[in-house]
A and B are shown apart, each in its own frame.
Chain A
Amino acid sequence: MKPAPFEYDDPQTVAEALDLLARYGDECKLLAGGQSLVPLMNFRLARPGRLIDINRIDSLSGIKGDDGMLVIGAMTRHSAVEHSTEVAGGWPLLTEAVGWVGHSQIRNRGTVGGSVAHADPAAELPAAFAALDATFRVQAKRASRLIGWEQFFVSEFTTALAPDELVVAVEVPRPQPGVGAAFVEYARRHGDFALGGAAVTIKLDAGGHCEAVSIALLSAGPAPVRATSAESMLRGAIVDQASIRAAAVEATRGLRPTADLHGSTEYRLRLLQTMTQRALIKAAERAKATP
C-alpha cells in the first residue's frame, strides 16, 4: 500500500528542526531512518499529518568516544555503529547487539536515535543501552535535558519525550576494564523481531566472584527490563553453572511477557531464562579472557 498524504519539511539544522517541533508538536512526526515508521505509513497504520525529516542534519550523526564516554549522534546509522572500531574496542556489547537489528539493508538506513525514540520492547539497542546505563541527550527549543534510560523508556512505543523534544545523542559510559559483555536473542527467522533476548555485562575478581553485573532483557515487558534482583543475587557469588542458572530464573521472576501467536507467556519466560543464562555464560567467558 501507499502512505496517506502529509506535509513535509527537511530542516538542515537542529535549530530549524526544533523550531518546527515547537510549532507543530503533536501534529507532526519526526522521520529518522524510517525503517519502522515508513512500513506503518505504507499500511496506513500511521497517518502523520506532517513529517519532519531530520536526515539532512549532518551534525546529528557521528560516533565519538573518549576515556569516560561514548557519544553516538541520534542520526548515526546502525551500520555505522556495527562497523565502528571505536565501538567494538570499548563497547563490544553494542557491536554485538546492533548486528541483530533487521538486515544489512535496514541497518544502512535505521538510526540509533530512531530506535530509542520508537521504543519497541523487542528492539536490541534499547536493551543494550539499559545494560550499559546509557543516558539520552534531548533538546527542545525551550530547554535541553539528559534523561537516563530508566526514565526514558516508559512503555511500549512510549517514551518520556515531550512532543517538542528531539533526541540528539546517546551517552554510554565506558565499561570498567575487565568487563565481559554478551548479547543474545532468539527470533523465528534471521532479522525478525526477537521473541526474547538478554544483554549482559559482568566483571569477575581473581577468585571468580562476580564483582559487578548488569542484566537487561528485551521482549520481556513493555520496556527494557533490568533484572536488578538477579544482579544482586549474583554480585559477590562465585560465577558457575549453578549461580548463573539461579540468576537466570530470578531474572524473570514477576515478569509477564505478552502471549501471541509466536509463543505463550510460559514459553517466553522459559526463553528469557535461557537467553539470560547463555548471555551470562558468554559474558563470563569473555570477562575471563579479558586481561
Chain B
Amino acid sequence: MTRKISIEINGRLAEGEVEPRLLLADFIRDVAGLTGTHLGCEHGVCGACTVQLDGRPVRSCLMFAVQAHGHRVATVEGMAPDGDTLSTLQQAFHESHALQCGFCTPGILMSMEAFLREEPDPSPASIRAALAGNLCRCTGYQNIVTAVRLAADRMQSS
C-alpha cells in the first residue's frame, strides 16, 4: 500500500506516493532530488543524514517519510541565501577548513545551525558536546569547533 504525502522541504512542497517503509532520508534524496543529505550508517549513529524537522535536528534515516507528511523539513540546500552566497555558518566552515571530504558536513551544518539558535554564544566545550552526535573522520574536529565559534562571533556582531 502506498500513500500520497507532501512535505515542505526548504519552503517548497515535495509530493510523492510512497511506501510506508521509505525512509525520510531516501524521500529527500530520491523523490525530492535533494542529494545534499547524505546517508552513512543508516542506524542513527553517524549523523550524516541529520536534517531539521520543524526546526529541530533529527536523523532522517530513523524516520519514515510518511511520518513527515504535513511537517516542515530543512536540509543543507536551504541554508545559503542564494546561489552565490554562503550562509554565515557555511562561510565560516569554508574559511576555517572545517571540512575535507565533506561527507559529514551537511549533517554537521544542520546540527550546528540549530545549536547556534539555541546557544548563540557557546564555549568550545559546549560546541564539542553538541558535535558528539555527528561523526567526522577527516578533520579531527578542531577546525569544526573553530568554525562554529567564528560563525557565532559573526552572528552576534551582525
Contacts and interface: CB of A to CB of B under 8 A. Distances in A.
A291 interface: no
A79 interface: yes
Given A104-B57, A105-B59, A109-B58, A4 B21 contact: yes
Interface residues of B, number: 29
B1 A8 contact: yes
A19 interface: no
Interface stretch (A32-40, A250-258, A268-276): A32-40
A5 B18 CA distance: 12
B47 A105 contact: yes
Contact of B61 (A5, A42, A79): A42
B9 to A, nearest CB: 18
Interface in B13-27: 19-21, 23, 26
B121 interface: no
Contacts of B56: 79, 108
A109 B21 contact: no
Interface string B64-75: 101100000000
A3 B19 CA distance: 11
B20 A103 contact: no
Nearest to B62: A38
Interface in A112-142: none
Contacts of A109: 58-59, 62-63
Contact of B132 (A10, A53, A103): A103
B42 A42 contact: yes
B66 A10 contact: yes
Given A43-B43, A105-B58, A34 B23 contact: no
A39 B61 CA distance: 8
Interface of B: 1, 3, 19-21, 23, 26, 42-44, 47, 50, 53, 56-59, 61-64, 66-67, 111, 115, 129-130, 132-133
Interface of A: 1-8, 10, 34-35, 38-39, 41-43, 51, 53, 55, 79, 102-106, 108-109, 190-191
Among all A-B residue pairs, the 9 with the closest Cβ atoms: A103-B133, A8-B20, A39-B43, A190-B132, A38-B62, A108-B56, A3-B21, A105-B57, A105-B133
